[in-house]
Amino acid sequence: MRYPPAFGAWLLARTADEALAGDITEEYSAGHSCSWYWREVLLAALMGVMASVRQHRWRTLEATLVAWAFMTAWGLVAANEWREWHQNDQITMITRWVGYFVSGFIVGRYFRFPMIASVLLPLALGVLLRHLDLDLSWMPRPMQPPASRSVDVALCMVLGAVVGTWRTGQPRIVRHGDAIEDTRLRTPAFASHDSSH
Amino acid sequence: MRNLLGSFELVVLLAVIQLGEDAYGVPVAREVVRASRRNWSVASVYAALDRLEKKGLVASELGESTPERGGRAKKYFRVTANGLRIARETKRTFAAFWQIVPETH
C-alpha cells in the first residue's frame, strides 16, 4: 500500500472533514501523483479552516484579539524596556520572530489549529494594506501589520501555532502495520455537520 | 426559477443520482471529472455536496472504513425526494430554452 506523506496526513487530520480526508487518501493510494495529493490537501485544509472560522466566529475573534494583544504588549516591552538591545538589527529581528512565534503558539495551544486562520487573516489584511501604500503611521508601531516582504514573521506565527497544537491531546495519525489510522472520528471543522447523522 | 441549481451543483447532483448506492466522495468526484471533462478537485466536489445537503437535495450517512483510507469512514450520499424534484424541474426549464439554441452558426 502507498502511504501518503506524513505531514499531509497530519494536516488533513487536523483541518479537513474525515470523509474528505479518507477520499483523498484513497485516491492517493490508487496512484495519483504527489503534486495532485498536495493540491488536494491544501484545498481541503483551506476549506476546513474557512468552515471552522464560519462555525466559530466568536472564538475566531477572541483568538485574533488575544494574539494581537500579546503582540502589542510584546512590542511595547521590546521597544521600551530593551531599547539598548535594539541598537543591533539582528536582535530586533529575533525579538520580532520570538513575538510572532509565541503569539502563534498561544493561538495554536488554546484555540485549536484551524484558528490559525484568525491570525493569517489579519496578516493577509496587513499585507494588502501595505500593498495599497496606505499611511499607517497613526497606529502604534507594534500594532502595525507586517510589510508584504515579512514572510518570515508570518512563518514564525504559523510555526508557533503548529508547535502549540502539537501536544494538546488532539487526534494523531497512527500506523498499525500496513494501515494508517486517524485516531479522531470527527474533525472540529465539520463536527456540527456530521452530528446530525 | 429560484430552485434552479448552478451548473456544477447540478452535475454533482446528477452524479449522485447515477451512482445510486455507491455514491461516496471518490466515485462522485470521478464521475464529475469524466462527465464535465474538467479536472475538479475532490475538495470542490465535497463543497458542492455540502451545499446540496444544506439545501436538502441530498442526504448523507457514514459507511465503512478501509485501510486505503487511513481507517476513515466513507460518507455515502443519496438524493432526496426534493433533490429529484429539483433535478426534473431544472431539466424541464433547460429543455424549454434549449430548443431555441441553434445547432451551428
Domain ranges, ordered by start, for chain A: 6-53+171-194, 57-166
**Which CATH number belongs to the domain containing residue B46 in this structure?**
1.10.10.10
B105 belongs to a structural domain: no
Residue B72 Cα, gap to closest chain A Cα (Å): 5
User: pLDDT for A155-174, tens place per residue?
Assistant: 777 788 778 776 655 444 44
| Chain B nearest-CA residue for A178 | B67
B chain contacts of residue A9, beta-carbon cutoff 8 Å: 70
Residue B47: inside a domain = yes
The answer to whether residue B84 is domain-embedded is yes
On whether residue B2 sits in a domain, the answer given is no
Residue B58: which domain range? Answer: 7-98
A40–chain B Cβ distance below 8 A for any pair: yes
Mean of the pLDDT values across residues A48-58?
78
Question: Taking CB atoms and an 8 Å limit, are A194 and B50 in contact across chains?
Answer: no
In a domain? residue B14: yes
The answer to whether residue B62 neighbours chain A at the CB level (below 8 Å) is yes
Q: What are B72's three cell numbers? A: 476513515
Q: Is residue B72 within 8 angstroms of chain A, CB to CB?
A: yes
Reference B47, options A40, A175, A5, A80; nearest CA is A40
Q: What is the mean pLDDT of residues A141-146?
A: 56
What are the pLDDT digits (tens) for A63-91?
778 877 887 788 777 766 666 655 666 77
Q: Is residue B103 part of a domain?
A: no
Say what the ipTM of the complex is: 0.86
